[in-house]
Structure 1
């Protein structure tokens, strides 16, 4: 079922489960392990998925001119987006539930290699200065407001010479909701000194237990860091990794009630493209069952920082890094590249 989402209206109650576990799995990267559990309940959940899955009204650009995969390339690339309603300038802003417009504040490319033995999650800094096809040079997060999802996908495909197979949007509120469902999460802060957020939470280097309010503040804060959004990206990666680690435990995956609780918590914050059918997602999840302990995160390297002609703070591209990433995706060696970062 495809429809345009209006977030000014309250959500309607739906029959049965909000969405199947298999939806949550692919996008959240809570992904891999949760999908394995979902296979047990696939027959009962697949119809709920088809009935209740929310999809973007328009996802992909026209096919002409898009990158084409080699015949033997069975890799899958999923673009993950999150958005702040006003462009994401700080933790005082409200997170929009799905980036149908505005600027995409968090951007990750999830790469699933052909062998399905690992998953790489590549964060792209929102302030990266790029060519948005048809619109000139802008920060990469402006592509969404300039031309919607098709323009965002077009920008990513042009930047890395890669075919985007699926797209999904999830806001950080969905992830922090999982923190409540999990009873808190232990996050390993990689920042080398304490920092205090605008909400008054202080975080120390190393592992610390966080409730949902603390976690949301942790993943949104950037004012304390000399490199700003780059450290925020690292914090988001650390948080998502912590959620994965605490979600895909044997205790959770063997407990149908627990799985349903996590799905119901996360699914209202998720919208996918219309090609992610229950069969497609379930097949991917089954094939990824051995990759749950091999999920690698890294951030696209940047060049110098400066101001654009119109006064925006930007990161220029590291051209060599962009070429290396494109080559690694094409050669199925992105796992080696991620390990070297």
Structure 2
């Protein structure tokens, strides 16, 4: 049982009349709601890595030119504007790369807020680019959030509060302060875009850990074991958490399953040899993501041409479990293990990253 802390200041982003969000413990959270019609940030998807692996395998001049045309349609982020350079972590392994990936689900049935990032992944690409470690940081992780340029934050809070208070730059500062890992690039993805991506692939196969029924219409029942899903079913599967004792941790696992299934299908299903399907896939992908001004998909595709689903490892940032801070249900980081774990990320020690994580 975690020690009870003093109450924190109320979240000021709650809109009157909107239902409270369920948190890791299944209790209402003070996570804020924004006015109706705006997006609620949640559920990250690693579409960027999928594009990288897929087009890296093509490797032709025509492929590169086409990718540049797709890339020109992608929105760009001023991800590092206002981030104090003197406070940023130093680069230890200069040829490794760390990408912070944030996401939204603009068609989530539970959506009522556009001010929070409810899933955060720090993707580590080792110097040899032979693999990728995708580190999920639970949205309710209790951390110190720096003060934003507008004077918001500057106190302990759930890590996803940083986006509400200072957008992407404050998320960069918060993640860097928590991990002491320098963020090289930022990608934001609309998770709802997975529907079009999965349908462009002709569906994916996912192995469900148990039978359960979705809480959203049309209330699908997912059978235990392997099953083929179209885009709507896979998106529904990825949203579920309230039926599981470990809440958000189960949702993280489901998202990881879907991401890996997309990667596996894209790299083994003949997509590269089918121009029509490839075009549908790339158009769906480009419409679902935005990235920082310096990230090039062409360069990433070249560097990561050998990356495949089997080379991805999905892990979770070390935690001590859940507890309460005042009225809030939170996830407590295991500070000692966090220090050791992210030290391995900084020095690009892949096996130590895998061994030191929470593989929930």
TM-score (norm 2): 0.78
Q: Secondary structure at the match of 1:104?
A: coil
Provide the C-alpha distance between the structure 2 equivalents of 1:183 and 1:149, rounded to a whole number of angstroms. Answer: 34
Which residue pairs with 1:194 in the alignment? 211
User: CA 1:282–1:167 in structure 2 vs 1: closer, same or farther (change >3 Å)?
Assistant: same
Which residue pairs with 2:283 in the alignment? 264
User: Displacement, 1:126?
Assistant: 0.7
Which residue pairs with 1:295 in the alignment? 312
Which residue pairs with 1:52 in the alignment? 73
Choose which of 146, 153, 161 in structure 2 pairs with 1:133. 146
Provide the C-alpha distance between the structure 1 equivalents of 2:65 and 2:202, rounded to a whole number of angstroms. Answer: 27
Work out whether residues 296 and 335 of structure 1, in 8 Å CA contact, stay in contact via their aligned partners in 2.
no
User: Displacement, 1:163?
Assistant: 0.7
Q: Secondary structure at the match of 2:117?
A: strand
Work out whether residues 95 and 173 of structure 1, in 8 Å CA contact, stay in contact via their aligned partners in 2.
no
Does residue 321 of the first structure (1) align with residue 342 of the second (2)? no
Choose which of 77, 90, 112 in structure 2 pairs with 1:68. 90
Q: Secondary structure at the match of 2:53?
A: helix
Q: Which structure's residues are more often helix, by fraction? A: 1
Does residue 221 of the first structure (1) align with residue 237 of the second (2)? no
User: Displacement, 1:129?
Assistant: 0.7
Choose which of 103, 115, 121 in structure 1 pairs with 2:116. 103
Choose which of 271, 274, 286 in structure 1 pairs with 2:293. 274
User: Displacement, 1:209?
Assistant: 1.1
User: Displacement, 1:46?
Assistant: 5.3
User: CA 1:217–1:264 in structure 2 vs 1: closer, same or farther (change >3 Å)?
Assistant: same
User: CA 1:329–1:262 in structure 2 vs 1: closer, same or farther (change >3 Å)?
Assistant: same
Q: Secondary structure at the match of 1:133?
A: strand
Equivalent pairs counted in the alignment come to: 304
User: Displacement, 1:43?
Assistant: 4.6
In the alignment, structure 1 segments of 5+ residues that lack a partner are 1-7, 10-24
Which residue pairs with 2:188 in the alignment? 169
Which residue pairs with 1:12 in the alignment? none
Does residue 112 of the first structure (1) align with residue 125 of the second (2)? yes
Which residue pairs with 2:202 in the alignment? 183
User: CA 1:26–1:180 in structure 2 vs 1: closer, same or farther (change >3 Å)?
Assistant: closer
Q: String of CA shifts for 1:145-190, please: whole Å, max 9, x gaps.
A: 011101101111111111101101112112222111122211122x
Provide the C-alpha distance between the structure 2 equivalents of 1:288 and 1:335, rounded to a whole number of angstroms. Answer: 19
In the alignment, structure 2 segments of 5+ residues that lack a partner are 1-36, 39-44, 148-152
User: Displacement, 1:249?
Assistant: 1.6
Work out whether residues 48 and 187 of structure 2, in 8 Å CA contact, stay in contact via their aligned partners in 1.
no
Q: Secondary structure at the match of 2:90?
A: coil
Choose which of 347, 350, 357 in structure 2 pairs with 1:331. 347
Work out whether residues 84 and 104 of structure 1, in 8 Å CA contact, stay in contact via their aligned partners in 2.
no
Which residue pairs with 1:242 in the alignment? 261
RMSD: 2.5
User: Displacement, 1:258?
Assistant: 2.4
User: Displacement, 1:218?
Assistant: 0.7
Work out whether residues 194 and 205 of structure 1, in 8 Å CA contact, stay in contact via their aligned partners in 2.
yes
Work out whether residues 37 and 254 of structure 1, in 8 Å CA contact, stay in contact via their aligned partners in 2.
no
Q: String of CA shifts for 1:190-230, please: whole Å, max 9, x gaps.
A: x3x31111121112232111122211111111110111001
Q: String of CA shifts for 1:29-80, please: whole Å, max 9, x gaps.
A: 214421324532345225525643311244452322111213x521111111
User: CA 1:305–1:250 in structure 2 vs 1: closer, same or farther (change >3 Å)?
Assistant: closer
Choose which of 23, 33, 38 in structure 1 pairs with 2:53. 33
Work out whether residues 300 and 321 of structure 1, in 8 Å CA contact, stay in contact via their aligned partners in 2.
no
User: Displacement, 1:246?
Assistant: 0.4
TM-score (norm 1): 0.82
